[in-house]
A and B are shown apart, each in its own frame.
Chain A
Amino acid sequence: MGADHRILTGDTTVTPVKHVPFTTGDRIVGPDGLPFGAGVVTRKLYIDRNRTDLYTEDGSYSYPFKTIQAAINKVIANGDNHQDRPYEFDIAAGIYPENLILEDAKLVSLIWRGRGSRLQTQIKPASGLALRSNANNASFYDFHCENIQFSMPTEMTGAAAGNYFGYNFMFENCYWPSGATALFRNMTYPSFFGDWSKFSGGVTFSNITQTSVNNIGGYKTSAPSLTIETDEAANMPYGFGTGTAVLCSHQRTPNVTWSLLNIVAKTGTALQLRACRHGSAGETIPVNAQIIAYHSSLVGAYVVNGKLDLYDSFPSGSVSGPGTISIYQQAAHLKFTPAVGANWVDPDPANTQDAIDRIAAEVVLLKGGPIT
């Protein structure tokens, strides 16, 4: 970095001042000594890897960081990140060849916004992880990550038992393309949403208190794999109930790979579906696992060793097995209007429940005994 040239605006000088030439890297600073036009907004940091000119990076609009990790390090160095003092990263479109690491107790609340679409801002290192947070993250509560593509794998694992890691994590319109796996472990409430979010590299949720996965990829394409894991021998996060809970809405979901390890008390690892199209070739639900389906279509045959709850939901194939199958679409709620009203003593049955009840009663009279 070169010299600072203090701007003299506002001075009422009676003494003439001599100026010196500028050289590359010199800065103009205001009366306060800060770079002119920079440092005004202290918790919004700009990152732009497209800038090729030389300057001292400070995260201002005029002097953005050229790497995201430099901005992360700046937050750590400032040491003032707090839940009510989040840092917002404004990340210009471009491909960032970085292995991003979020492992420092000083990281508490971050907002990342990729400019443009999630295809335009990519984290794409040559090897290794695009994003890692596996240590020193027990204080990392808030993370809103928007419009970013992680072109290599991501691993986020809460480092401590009973921690709040991921308490308010939101990934919006983020994309993991084919080959970029995503692993989220020992976290509280991470959520994923946005029409253009996709896990094309597959995703694993392990020991997650509850995760919402909404509208990811719509029905256009589905994630190639979804692994839901509960391991009682591993660290478990704050609020961990009966096992990992994954809530999916309005999307196409793949068959689940269930991983249930060292189960003693956590007997309710669950996938909840809301208006989803689930699976492609049927599924076996193991003991200690359950699928709860609301207004969803389940493709194929289901063998239930754990639990299957169907609320206005319909498997295309058979449903069998020794587990618990609960059907909540009632015959009483299906409207029935007789095609020939004369076949019925008035009043006509109004629904399927009434019709079957009355037919059954009539058959009992005609046949002289209960229906076998």
Chain B
Amino acid sequence: MTDRMLLTGDPSSTPQKHGTFAAGDKVLQPDGAPLFESMPTVGTHEMHVDKFRTDSYTEDGSPYRPYKTIAAALTYIRSVAVALQDWSLIIRTGQYTENVVLEDLGLLDSISLVGHGGIVGIVPAAGNSLQSTANNGNLKKLRLINIETTKPIVITGPNGGTGFSDVWLQDCKLNDAITLNCINSFSLMGCYLPVAISCTNVAWFYCDSANWGGTFSFKCDSTADAPSGGFDCTALLNGVYQTGAVTLTKVGTANGVVAVLGGSRINSSSGTIVVPSGWTLQAYNSFIRGNLTNNGTFQQRGAFVEKVFANAGTWTADTKSSMLAYTPSVAGNWTVQPATVQEALDMIAAKVGPV
């Protein structure tokens, strides 16, 4: 291959002769850089990463000269980012054997890791696929889209911090445990995760449309570090198929709300969910496997518990017998035909006398 230096821009007064191009020849700018290949980074907050580029070039994050590692792109962002900027890493399909570490106060506001052209694996040999446990107080939004992890995700925010207001994993496959401490908001949407999730003082935990094959530990602890959103936390599970044991833990005065919604199915068949005093479990149109012991408040709306329900707290049930249709099989047994189970039982009780 031959590099052909572009002559544009030369105030040449001497006519020059051009040669013939062959396959693979490159056109270079006067500075020796490939023509146009640095332009797309002007003003953009979009960095490209492609580990399969094997040629030698000066990486600048453009589509033509992408970084070869996620870490290199993060290093660049750290060096140039200012407040209120959203940065996206467009990561070409492949398995990246890196530990993605987001621990630098220079990482500001918003970073998205977007798998491009298919799911992207973050598959280090050891350690964590994604880690942010220190020096992360300035990182407010973190998004992973079309990403697969094979090692743990560990995120710990600073005490009282306003960071991690929007951690968002969409269409991801998460193959190892997720441990979250002291952050404001964590959302999973459309994810497959055959793993355990452990939350301590996660002000908002949100899981939607997920196939979740592991356990769920949700802990609110007034004696531990808490984010700006506080230690009274809320978990929302919407349209989730979850199989492992669910453990709700109260430490000190911290209270939690867990809402199981939208056709979800949670808990292991042999497990017992214990709702602590001061906590609320809302089950709407969902199914709770195993057993349930309520020491707080249980709101049951169109939802069912598989096995034993022991109530020592406040129980509200909207799955009422007055909303269950009953049509007598033998109409002649009734003077007025009851329309619901409630009506039938009331009429029988009245006929029999005190029961």
Contacts and interface: CB of A to CB of B under 8 A. Distances in A.
Interface of A: 5, 7-22, 28, 36-37, 48, 50-53, 61-62, 92-93, 115-117, 119-120, 195-196, 215, 218-220, 250-251, 275-277, 295-297, 310, 312-316, 319, 327-331, 334, 352-353, 356-357, 359-361, 363-364, 366-367, 370-372
Nearest to A93: B86
B8 A331 contact: no
B1 interface: no
A354 to B, nearest CB: 8
Given A296-B285, A310-B323, A357-B329, 9 more contacts: A18-B13, A19-B10, A19-B12, A28-B35, A195-B170, A195-B190, A327-B324, A328-B325, A329-B325
Contacts of B162: none
B195 interface: no
A36 B332 CA distance: 89
Interface of B: 4, 6-21, 25, 27, 35-36, 39-40, 42-46, 63, 86, 88, 110, 112, 114, 141, 143, 166, 168, 170, 187, 189-190, 204, 206, 208-209, 236, 238-239, 259, 261-263, 284-285, 301-302, 316, 318-320, 323-326, 328-330, 332-336, 339-341, 344-345, 347-348, 350-352
Nearest to A358: B329
Contacts of A313: 285, 302, 323
A329 B324 contact: yes
A220 B186 CA distance: 12
Nearest to B341: A331
Nearest to B301: A297
Contact of A352 (B43, B324, B347): B324
Nearest to A360: B333
A231 B112 CA distance: 45
A364 B330 CA distance: 11
Contacts of B112: 116-117, 120
B329 A19 contact: no
B206 A371 contact: no
B15 A9 contact: no
B307 to A, nearest CB: 13
Contact of B326 (A93, A331, A367): A331
B324 A331 contact: yes
Nearest to A364: B333
8 nearest interchain CB pairs?
A16-B15, A297-B301, A50-B43, A331-B326, A372-B335, A327-B325, A250-B262, A316-B318
Contacts of A12: 18-20
A208 B311 CA distance: 46
Given A12-B20, A18-B12, A116-B86, A215 B335 contact: no
A307 B43 CA distance: 57
A370 B88 contact: no
A357 B330 contact: yes
